[in-house]
Amino acid sequence: MILTIIAFILVLGILIIAHESGHFVAAKLSKIKVLEFAVGFPPRLLSFRKKETKYTIGALPLGGYVKMLGEEDVSQDPRSFGRAKPWKRLMVSIAGVIMNVVLAWIILTIGFAVGMSSIATDPASIPGKVLKSEVVLAGIEKDSAAEKADLKAGDILESGSINGAVTKFLTSAQFDAYSSQNVGKTVGLVVKRDNNELTKTITFSGQKDEALGVAIADNTVIRVVWYRAPIVALRETYSILKVTAQFFQDFVHTIFKTGKVSQNVGGPVAIYVYTGMAVKAGWMIFIQYVALLSINLAFINILPFPALDGGRALFIILESIFRRRVVKEEIENIIHFAGFIVLMLLVILITYRDVIHYIIH
Q: What is the model's pLDDT at position 144?
A: 82
Residue 342 C-alpha from the chain's centroid: 21
**For strand 214-218 and strand 135-140, is the pairing parallel, antiparallel, or unpaired?**
antiparallel
pLDDT in tens, 122-174: 887 899 998 988 888 888 888 888 888 888 888 889 998 988 889 998 888 88
Count other C-beta atoms under 10 Å from residue 332's C-beta.
20
**Residue-wise burial string across 47-81, b where 16 or more C-beta atoms lie within 10 A, e elsewhere:** eeeeeebbebebeebebbbbbbbbbeeebeeebbb
List the chain pLDDT tens, one digit each, 361 residues: 788 888 888 899 999 999 999 999 999 999 999 999 999 888 889 999 999 999 999 988 878 999 999 887 778 889 999 889 999 999 999 999 999 999 999 999 999 999 988 888 888 789 999 898 888 888 888 888 888 888 888 888 999 898 888 999 888 888 888 888 888 888 898 999 888 898 888 888 777 667 788 888 777 889 999 999 999 999 999 999 988 888 877 777 777 777 666 666 667 777 877 788 788 777 888 899 999 999 999 988 998 888 899 999 999 999 999 888 888 878 888 898 898 898 888 878 877 777 776 666 5
Cα separation of 210 and 303, whole Å?
30
Residue 250 C-alpha from the chain's centroid: 16
Which amino acid, one-letter code, is at 259? G
Q: Quick one: fold of 134-218?
A: Pdz3 Domain (2.30.42)
Closest among 41, 33, 37, 26 to 93, alpha carbons compared: 26
**Residue ranges per domain, the chain?**
2-113+287-360, 134-218
Q: What is the model's pLDDT at position 360?
A: 66
pLDDT in tens, 266-303: 677 778 777 887 887 778 888 999 999 999 999 889 98
Indicate the DSSP class of residue 119.
S
φ and ψ at 254, to 5 degrees? -65, -40
Q: How far apart are the first and last CA of the chain?
A: 19
Q: What is the model's pLDDT at position 262?
A: 61
φ and ψ at 230, to 5 degrees? -60, -35
Strand, helix or coil at 79?
Answer: coil
Cα separation of 241 and 238, whole Å?
5
Q: What is the model's pLDDT at position 310?
A: 93
Residue 291 C-alpha from the chain's centroid: 7
Q: CA angle, corner 3, sides to 215 and 151, nearest 5? A: 35
Strand, helix or coil at 309?
Answer: helix
Q: CA angle, corner 295, sides to 312 and 217, nearest 5? A: 155
Cα separation of 287 and 285, whole Å?
6
Q: Taking the CA atoms of the chain, what radius of gyration do you get in angstroms? A: 23
Query: Active-site residue numbers?
Result: 20
Cα separation of 266 and 306, whole Å?
21
Cα separation of 76 and 276, whole Å?
48
What pTM was estimated for this model as a whole? 0.78
